[in-house]
Structure 1
C-alpha cells in the first residue's frame, strides 16, 4: 500500500495497493469543493483490485485524512454513500 494523497490540482484523492501479482494499482476518488466541503463525486478501483477490499481500505484512509485535516465530506458517488452508511463511526465527517 502506498501513502494516501490529496492531488489538489486534479481534485482527486488517491492511494496505491498491491494487486495479486504485487503490482501497485490505484484507487481514487474525484471530488469537488463547495464551501470547503469535499463532495465525493466518483470512487474507482483499478479492475485488478476489485473484490479484494482495496476500495474499502481506501475509504478508511480518506476518512482518516479528513479527520486529520479537519475536512467535511459529502458523498455523492453511490459507493461512497453506501460505505458511509455502513460505517456510522465516520458520521462526524459528513457535511
Structure 2
C-alpha cells in the first residue's frame, strides 16, 4: 500500500492502492475531530486499508491533543477493538 497523506484542506486522510482512492474524512472542531466517513472501494477492500486510515487519523489526533468523536460506524468499531485509543474518545 502506498503511503497515507493528510489532506488538511479537504479534512481527509487519503491513500491510493491499485489506482483506487480510499479515505477517512473528518470534521475539525475545537480541540477535537469527528470522523464522519471511511471509504474504501470494493475493488481494494479486505486488505486492511480502512484500518490503516483510521489508525493514522487517531494517531494524528493523539499527537495533536485532540479528542475523537467516531461518528462513522467503522471508526467506532475500530476504536472499540483497540482500547489503546480509548483515551481519545470524545
Q: If the length of structure 2 is used for normalisation, what is the TM-score?
A: 0.81
Q: Distance in 1 between matches of 2:73 and 2:8?
A: 22
Cross-structure match for 2:6:
6
Secondary structure at the aligned position of 1:33 is classed as: strand
Cross-structure match for 1:42:
37
Q: How does 1:1-80 map to 2 (within 5 A)?
A: 1-16=1-16, 18=17, 23-80=18-75
Q: If the length of structure 1 is used for normalisation, what is the TM-score?
A: 0.78
Tell me which moved more, 83-92 or 65-74. 65-74
Q: CA RMSD in A?
A: 1.8
Alignment gaps of 5+ in structure 2:
none
State how many pairs are aligned.
90
Tell me which moved more, 39-48 or 25-34. 25-34
